[in-house]
Structure 1
């Protein structure tokens, strides 16, 4: 290690301490002199101490670094004890931050500089977000905490132990890929659900529609329609939110195909993007026409928590059934059988059909025919959501939603027919 590199690394150790110390100093800026456990200077010194201790490791051995860390920990314990005797704050955030700054200072010299710097930025950001994080935690309900733990269970515990081999008729059932699909869809759905819970009630129907499209555009449309049934005057805002939810579904299909079948993603990129563009443009027109009205729709109710284990298992079962159905229909009727399965699946769900077709493409189905099948499913699903807007909501909501969806279907169909495999060459 050259002298210049040593100075650079020690400088980073000092900068880490200064960054975190700046945040801690600002956080405790109202405290009188001598009441703060550590400020900018202390954090900067601790960061530099870690760097210097690590620099001396080749000369004095690793025990020096361990001894200095233990001595620092002992000082912090003593300071914490004195603070308790004085009736001070019983939190230990600053003490832990000091220890981490020392470790990051040492890592700046002994390891890669970029990860140490990134960890310091994350540390400072977490320290600065105390009020916001506590506010989020206060708004979390028990059922939502349970959902997070269930997501961790199905992704971290269950997924790795699933056998990764093809089973069943035609080898269409791969347990690992089936469960990976469950994890992916459940994760996307929970992101949308969490976004609605954290921000939807204050952002109105537009953001509720956008986030609801990640969770479930069909249930979002139904929830908005129920609101309109009670308050018909909200039909324009609800229609815009429902169309946004459907437009997000088009983009969600692209995300799923990007993961499960990149060739299919390339084929669907232009059609789905065109459909999403038409939908978002239509929603913007609806919103602009009613921009002067008071937004009485401060969020929506009726979006169920998507991470019940029963729901996850049900999706996996539906996916397996559709995989088998598509396989046998393809075997009996050829491509037309896949199209029939797509139309039936689109009545209730497009995710499972998208994943099923993605697995067939390249082996038993051409990329273009796979794209057509998914287009059929999403078209049927869009018409169903238009019907929900009309019959579960009001005629006014349906007359706003259906024309936009029909225009999106027409535009997507034209793009798919004209592109016909050319889009893949552009990717």
Structure 2
């Protein structure tokens, strides 16, 4: 007996409903934004999805021909829209064609339906944020655009060309893995950088710290320290931004571990999670001490999509990876821990990825990798406190040292236990 859940007719109707629902979202957005004009709206877009879905379900062999045939009336309608409304934007036309494909995908397979939902949601969001995207594009300086273009070009050209195997000439290093990690780490920073551009000019001190932590916690610390020298009364709010940026380093490291070696994540999540919680509580107390009218600007955050810093990180990562492996061979776990501390003084990302990689290869144990990552995080946290003392006022240095000191103690306690 066929149950309602597995009934083929029920499944077809359910997938049709998914396609129509996605199309309705896109159509409503086009109509409400008045971007569709007389071309297409909340009724027409569901029809596009139904067209694609029914062809895919019952006449899959002629799907490409059916989509091609749809181009003709769409072109005529688009030409009329351009003629009457003097609007030559292609967004709505492309959204209509894509909606037809999404409708077909929902009927193709279960995986196709899931991908259609993801793509449909993404399309709706992209269409909805037209003004913020244009504002973001307009405020990017020419030098920033050129820097991003060069970096992306190098990624697209260099990454596929690099051999994906250990090379004796590079002492056993895998050049593609190294460059892939450069792109990954830079991408994390770039995502936060883009968010910062959307949130300007007004943003809370909490957002300032979080974004600064993902782009560069060191740069944020230096910027906040300099602000307290210019205006000593801001030491509370600047300390909160420094502490928040420093705490963000822990979840950032967890993201890197999850990508490079997911099996290591449960072990690393405990100490870094505890340090994050302790830091958040301490930062919350610090935020409570700040007055509601205290505001700061995040300062100039540099676009992480720059070739020179990316290449520098690649070199540092390669050296750390190579030295850490040999340090373990020659000195055992103590060599790894020493390397983790000194490397962490400069960069946590390189050490986090290195130890995650070595643990995945079986070169070091899970416990050694976890301890090393925590040591690197503690070392880098110490640097933030030192920078606050050296570059900021005594009040800033004292406050940051107390708060981050509590975080460091919690990390050390977990290592001892």
The TM-score normalised by the length of structure 1 is: 0.83
Which of 86, 89, 92 is 2:90 aligned to?
92
RMSD: 3.1
* Aligned counterparts of 2:376 and 2:57: Cα–Cα separation in 1: 62
**Cα gap change, 1:14/1:389 in structure 2, threshold over 3 Å: closer, same or farther?**
closer
Please name the residue that 1:245 is paired with: 245
Please name the residue that 1:315 is paired with: 313
Please name the residue that 2:357 is paired with: 359
C-alpha displacement of 1:64? 6.1
C-alpha displacement of 1:274? 1.5
> Could you say what secondary structure the match of 1:346 adopts?
helix
Please name the residue that 1:324 is paired with: 322
Give the alignment of 1:364-379 within 5 angstroms.
364-379=363-378
Q: Confirm or deny that 1:37 pairs with 2:39.
A: yes
> Could you say what secondary structure the match of 2:298 adopts?
coil
C-alpha displacement of 1:23? 2.5
Please name the residue that 1:57 is paired with: 59
* Aligned counterparts of 1:118 and 1:100: Cα–Cα separation in 2: 13
Please name the residue that 1:421 is paired with: none
Please name the residue that 1:73 is paired with: 74
C-alpha displacement of 1:308? 1.3
Q: Deviations over 1:192-220 (max 9, x none)?
A: 22233332541133211111111221121
> Could you say what secondary structure the match of 2:345 adopts?
coil
> Could you say what secondary structure the match of 1:304 adopts?
coil
Higher alpha-carbon Rg: 1
C-alpha displacement of 1:247? 0.7
Please name the residue that 2:203 is paired with: 203
**Cα gap change, 1:46/1:265 in structure 2, threshold over 3 Å: closer, same or farther?**
closer
**Cα gap change, 1:231/1:25 in structure 2, threshold over 3 Å: closer, same or farther?**
same
> Could you say what secondary structure the match of 1:28 adopts?
coil
C-alpha displacement of 1:184? 1.6
Q: Deviations over 1:52-92 (max 9, x none)?
A: 5556637x955862563143234324424xx42x4632323
* Aligned counterparts of 1:77 and 1:220: Cα–Cα separation in 2: 49
Range with greater deviation from structure 2 (242-251 or 176-185): 176-185
C-alpha displacement of 1:392? 0.2
Give the alignment of 1:223-238 within 5 angstroms.
223-238=223-238
CA contact (8 A) 1:57 1:64 kept: no
Range with greater deviation from structure 2 (189-198 or 381-390): 189-198
C-alpha displacement of 1:16? 4.7
* Aligned counterparts of 1:260 and 1:51: Cα–Cα separation in 2: 39
**Cα gap change, 1:417/1:148 in structure 2, threshold over 3 Å: closer, same or farther?**
same
Instruction: Give structure 2 stretches of 5+ with no counterpart.
Output: 1-6
**Cα gap change, 1:234/1:28 in structure 2, threshold over 3 Å: closer, same or farther?**
same
**Cα gap change, 1:210/1:152 in structure 2, threshold over 3 Å: closer, same or farther?**
same
CA contact (8 A) 1:151 1:187 kept: no
C-alpha displacement of 1:403? 1.3
How many residue pairs get matched? 408
Q: Confirm or deny that 1:164 pairs with 2:170.
A: no
* Aligned counterparts of 1:343 and 1:4: Cα–Cα separation in 2: 60
Q: Confirm or deny that 1:346 pairs with 2:344.
A: yes
**Cα gap change, 1:135/1:329 in structure 2, threshold over 3 Å: closer, same or farther?**
same
Instruction: Give structure 1 stretches of 5+ with no counterpart.
Output: 419-427
* Aligned counterparts of 2:187 and 2:64: Cα–Cα separation in 1: 45
**Cα gap change, 1:232/1:321 in structure 2, threshold over 3 Å: closer, same or farther?**
same
* Aligned counterparts of 2:100 and 2:394: Cα–Cα separation in 1: 65
* Aligned counterparts of 1:371 and 1:4: Cα–Cα separation in 2: 50
Which of 24, 28, 32 is 2:30 aligned to?
24
C-alpha displacement of 1:416? 2.5
Please name the residue that 1:422 is paired with: none
> Could you say what secondary structure the match of 1:347 adopts?
helix
* Aligned counterparts of 1:377 and 1:51: Cα–Cα separation in 2: 53
* Aligned counterparts of 1:328 and 1:2: Cα–Cα separation in 2: 60
Q: Deviations over 1:28-64 (max 9, x none)?
A: 39x9xxx723333333444444445556637x95586
Range with greater deviation from structure 2 (309-318 or 320-329): 320-329
C-alpha displacement of 1:158? 2.4
CA contact (8 A) 1:206 1:244 kept: yes
CA contact (8 A) 2:29 2:124 kept: yes
**Cα gap change, 1:239/1:200 in structure 2, threshold over 3 Å: closer, same or farther?**
farther
> Could you say what secondary structure the match of 1:202 adopts?
coil
Please name the residue that 2:4 is paired with: none
C-alpha displacement of 1:15? 4.4
Range with greater deviation from structure 2 (383-392 or 354-363): 354-363
CA contact (8 A) 1:206 1:241 kept: yes
> Could you say what secondary structure the match of 2:30 adopts?
helix
Please name the residue that 1:140 is paired with: 140
C-alpha displacement of 1:344? 2.1
Please name the residue that 1:259 is paired with: 259
> Could you say what secondary structure the match of 2:389 adopts?
helix
C-alpha displacement of 1:8? 5.0
Range with greater deviation from structure 2 (7-16 or 140-149): 7-16
* Aligned counterparts of 1:52 and 1:213: Cα–Cα separation in 2: 49
> Could you say what secondary structure the match of 1:409 adopts?
helix
